[in-house]
Structure 1
Amino acid sequence: MIGARKQVLKLTLGLLAVGTLVGGSVSALTPSLSARQAAQAAVEGDTMFRENGAYKWGSYLLKTYTEDIKLRVDSPEVDGVAIGTPYERVRYESFLASFQDMALTPAQTNALAATLKNKVTFLVYTHSPRGVDEEEEQWKQAYNSGAVKPAAAREHSYLDAYVPATLSIGGRVLRSQLQIDGPYRDQFTLPTGGAQFRFLGVVRYTFDLTGVPAANVATLTFKDSGGKVFTQKANLTQLR
């Protein structure tokens, strides 16, 4: 499962970089999926895999900071920001299951949709600001100074410095749950043309919208591992 997620993560980062994404149709955010809607999302994910093996974000991709797989001198460690509504998350998990030749059953699809009810997840795709060797040394220094805390069952990296984000929506400010996918090691192309191994990973900020008034716009605020603040708006009327 981890290997499959790593491969899909690498694929997704590549899509963010080269911009091979398609636009989504205009529809309203659906915080709770019916069995029919969940089934439709599962079919979409399975179809994307079977047609060309690529997951297409469409309008769920909110922002990209890299234009290709080559790093620039001023490249931020954030590669892109996407939003996962219940519909999109079922679609993605269906794609991942088909990728592993384990297509979701209707029962699995409905169970997944139930766990996603009223939840929205922002996915922040990142890479480490330094090479793996330097990154590990920097983490040791941060740990010794008390700036970061070790994460259980996960390799130490820049991802340990990420903290929960906030979401402004419907006149309220919500605090997220935080989940880290990574770190993984991969080779990146430097501005000089050389190659370097860096960490990469996805930071997931999940918010429970239960009881939150309906809103057309939501604003995510988060910090990267170096403390740089990012603010990202999402037009919820464009998302299913």
Structure 2
Amino acid sequence: MTDQAGLEPAAPPPPAEAADVFGPQLELAARYAELLATTGISHGLVGPREAPRLWERHLVNCAVMESLLPEGETIIDIGSGAGLPGLVLAIVRPDLTLHLVEPLLRRTTWLENAIATLGLPNVSVHRGRAEETELTAPVVTARAVASLDKLVRWSFPLLSPGGRLLALKGESASRELDEAAPLLDGLGVEIAHLHVVGEGRVSDPVRVVEIVRPETLREPARSPSPTSRRGRKTRSKSARRSRGSV
């Protein structure tokens, strides 16, 4: 794929495992990779050093978690950043409905432009912090956003009873799950799993922590996100709240 000026693409070609994971959506995924490698870098959403490893480290890494999602699911992706994993899931699974929640204006602007460029009808962007978002869905996803205990506190108010937090984690997944045990016990969580997805399909299988929100929480689950200002009582006029049930 080349751009209109006939230049070589900035993104590397998709590896064989990407073709297996994305299937008929591979061309669309390649267009997204090119956006990440160009405007994604220039807008500061992706580091320049990530360009050579976009597929293995980011796109394929996020796409394999689709195996944990039933057909037609609605998902809230918090701290979406460059759309990882939210946009990737929308690409690999057109049957899904994605709501991307991101507090920074430059990121939400980039996401909206990317969605329009890729022609994705199943994605919407909501500017705001997770704890300000008044959406509800059966699934909340997150990747490289915060520690697991914080993700639980931010995501549980967004989940319908019995809903699932799916957090992509690295090698620290098991340790974080152990460290979050007191919080999970206090909230009445009975189901928490560590999944390893993509085995036999990708060179580096992915760890996904699944935590199921109980029907009734034993204590409030909200806490300030990292971008919240300590002691702040008012919000800027430019900040928008995300409203509605999905």
Q: TM-score, normalised by structure 1?
A: 0.29
Instruction: Write 1 or 2 for the structure with the bigger share of strand.
Output: 1
Instruction: Write 1 or 2 for the structure with the bigger share of helix.
Output: 2
